[in-house]
Amino acid sequence: MIELFPEGFEEVDTAGGLELAAYTNAGGEERVWQVFGPGRAEDIEPGWTDAWQRFHRPVRIGPLWIGPPWEESPADALRVVVDPGQAFGTGAHPTTQLCLSFLLGEARGSVLDLGCGSGVLAIAAAKLGFGPVIAVDLDPAAVQAAKENAAANGVDVDVRLLDAFSERLPEAALALANIALRQAEELAPRVPARRLVSSGYLVAEEPDLGGWARLERRSLEGWAADLYERL
């Protein structure tokens, strides 16, 4: 589902198990059927494009408060406001929280956010004093959302439309890659950084990142994140 609908989908507990639902069109419905087999499709009522707001809730990671603009933050928090728009990422997902927990312990320096989505990791890095911060994504909607979120937070983030799998990547002391496992394994050898935080996969999955030595693994709600150092 993450690969099919990186912009987001719902997880709903039911009496028979877990239901996964995505707002999509006929093309998305066909992709679901090809991967999972027959499913259930329902027409949705007008106004669904605003309904997603109720699913986005703020989170607190150390000094960081990360949430949407319609929520209030505590007075003692370092406020990171992220309006996801049509891009993935508000900070609530366990993989984002894990990346941020690693980020808090890293020496301040340059950061490269790979597959930045809404820009939450890059913006948090800038808020914490890292710099320069570069964020890249191949989705124009994500790049636009990240630029707008960086401006709203008053931080300097260099957001670029870039295909990290084929184009040259900017150098940085620390790279962040909150992406799917297969993408992380393909991308890791190309990352020009000394240290790498990788996430976006389950605890049961073990990344095989060529050229990197794993220093630490952390987990949250069945998801994992790993800290690597270049060999």
% residues pLDDT > 70 (the chain): 91
- Residue 141's domain comprises 56-230
pLDDT at 229: 98
For 189-230, the pLDDT digits (tens) are 999 999 999 999 999 999 999 899 999 999 998 999 999 999
Residue 183 is which amino acid?
Q
Q: Domain total for the chain? A: 2
pLDDT for the residue numbered 190: 95
Query: Starting at the edge strand that comes first in sequence, how are the strands of the sheet with 193-202 ordered?
Result: 158-161, 133-137, 111-114, 172-178, 193-202, 223-230, 212-220
What's the pTM?
0.78
Report the C-alpha gap between 78 and 204 in whole angstroms: 33
Lowest average pLDDT, out of 30-44, 67-81, 162-176, 210-224, goes to 30-44
E strands along 1-54, which residues?
10-14, 17-21
Please say if the pLDDT value at position 166 is more than 90: yes
35 and 65 part of one domain: no
Least confident interval from 18-22, 67-71, 86-90, 103-107: 86-90
| pLDDT for the residue 84 | 59
Round to whole Å and give the CA distance between 142 and 193. 23
Q: Is there a domain that residue 4 lies in? A: no
Q: What average pLDDT does the segment 97-103 reach?
A: 96
Asked whether the predicted pLDDT for residue 87 surpasses 60, the reply is no
pLDDT, one tens digit per residue, over 177-187 is 999 899 999 99
- In a domain, residue 1? The reply is no
Residue-wise pLDDT for 46-75, tens only, equals 665 565 566 567 889 999 999 888 888 899
Residue 3 lies in a domain: no
Q: List Cα–Cα distances, 12 to 22, 166, 180, in angstroms.
A: 11, 37, 22
Q: Are residues 109 and 163 in the same domain?
A: yes
* Together in a domain, 157 and 220: yes
